[in-house]
Amino acid sequence: MDLLTELRSRPLIFDGAMGTQLIAAGYRPVESPESWNVSNPEVVAAIHRAYLEAGADIIETNSFGGSRSKLTAYHEAERVVELNGAGARLAMAVRDEVAPDKLVAGDIGPSGRMMPPLGDATADELRDVFAEQSEALVAAGVDLIAMTTFFDLAEAKAAVLGARAMAGSLPVLISLAFKPSPRGYRTMMGVTPAQAAATLLEAGADVVGANCEITGEDMPGLVAEFRAATEAPLVIQPNAGQPSLVDGHTTYGETPESFASFMPAIVAAGANIVGGCCGTTPAYIAALVAALRG
Ligand SMILES: [Zn+2]
């Protein structure tokens, strides 16, 4: 499947959350989630398998926090190549077995560092951090790079530049986390969809969009703001509703069916790739597939 050609003719479907699935399988934050690519590969493989069996066209590697800067918190900074490579090979092996025509995206999240005035990271340092992780994922054979849940446009630009330098002709996707405000949608750092699209496409992204923070109900308006600013392909991954704490566990408000019910409007507004973020499970992706493909 050629991603950038295919998404022009039909909406493609991403998978759902990895982190909440790992926690459900017993992961606790005494080690990095990415270390489970090596220590508990059967758990990660089973999550990938469930998303492919639910009908996802693209699965994301277990590498959201696999950058050197994030792994440092677990004293695993020297494992960037090992853990990202293992995550990519694991996802590709499941894909090859279950659904060989589907795609594996190398997932990359924020660095955990801030640029001035909030922190001391430089754009060049962050670009190098993202390039290192991208190189490890690309070398292992992923089909595309998917960077998700960014808030700061300068960091997101560094991420695209780093990925673009290593990805060759592979597609680079990037999405930010927006919330509605009285003046339109903004990230926590005040970035608008139009600013994100202009800066990140210029930096070399092929697909831009939004994930996390909000539910499917708030997404059509956000997609419309993106569409007013760009013709580029859009990726949209809402949460499974608003989080709330019940008996010490985070739960999300939408059922698989109510989550999926917003998707036709999101696609009609202009989204080309849709999937799920926090709280979504294979059941949510199966409902999404049913809502879009009948
Ligand atoms: Zn999320």
Predicted confidence (pLDDT) per residue in 34-45, tens digit:
999 999 999 999
Which pLDDT value is given to residue 250? 81
Query: 103-108 and 58-60: which strand pairing?
Result: parallel
With cut-offs at 50, 70 and 90, classify the pLDDT of residue 155. very high
> What's the token pair of residue 177?
């986390």
The predicted model scores a pTM of: 0.97
**Ligand 1 center to 39 CA (angstroms):** 24
pLDDT tops 80 at residue 185: yes
Distance (Å) from CA 64 to ligand 1 centroid? 11
Instruction: Indicate the pLDDT class of residue 59, thresholds 50, 70 and 90.
Output: very high
- What burial letters (b/e) apply to 93-129, b meaning 16+ CB within 10 Å? ebbeebbeebbbbbbbbbbbbbbeeeeebeeeebbbb
In degrees and rounded to multiples of 5, residue 126 shows phi and psi of -65, -40
Q: Ligand 1 centroid vs 241 CA: distance in angstroms? A: 10
Query: What pLDDT, on a 0 to 100 scale, did the predictor assign at position 211?
Result: 97
pLDDT at 25: 94
Task: CATH number of the domain at 274, please.
Answer: 3.20.20.330
pLDDT for 27: 96
- Average model confidence (pLDDT) across the chain: 96
Full domain range(s) for residue 114: 3-293
Q: According to the model, what pLDDT value does residue 248 have?
A: 80
Going from the Cα of 44 to the center of ligand 1, the distance in angstroms, rounded, reads 18
Q: How far is the CA of 21 from the centre of ligand 1 (A)?
A: 12
Over pLDDT 90: what percentage of the chain? 93
Q: How many domains does the chain have?
A: 1
Q: Ligand 1 centre and the CA of 15: distance in Å?
A: 12
Helices vs. strands in the chain: H and E counts, helices first? 13, 12
User: Which of 3-12, 199-208, 243-252, 265-274 is least confident?
Assistant: 243-252
Return all residues near 102 (Cβ < 8 A) that are at least 6 apart. 1, 52, 56, 57, 58, 59, 95
Contact 56, 15 (CB under 8 A): yes
Confidence of residue 242 (pLDDT cuts 50, 70, 90): confident
**Distance in Å, CA 253 to ligand 1 centroid:** 14
Kindly give the distance from the C-alpha atom of residue 170 to the centroid of ligand 1, in angstroms, as a whole number.
Answer: 24
Residue 234's closest CA among 181, 285, 197? 197
What pLDDT digit, counting tens, does each position of 64-91 carry? 999 999 999 999 999 999 999 999 999 9
Q: What is the per-residue pLDDT for 249? A: 79
Confidence (pLDDT) at 48 = 98
Dihedral Cα 180, 216, 109, 225, nearest 10 deg: -50
In the predicted model, what is the mean pLDDT of residues 184-205? 97
SS3 252: strand
131 vs 246, more confident = 131
The pLDDT value recorded for residue 294 is: 77
Distances (CA, A) of 71 to 91, 111, 127, 202: 20, 9, 16, 29
Mean pLDDT of all residues in 244-261: 90
Average pLDDT over residues 105-134: 97
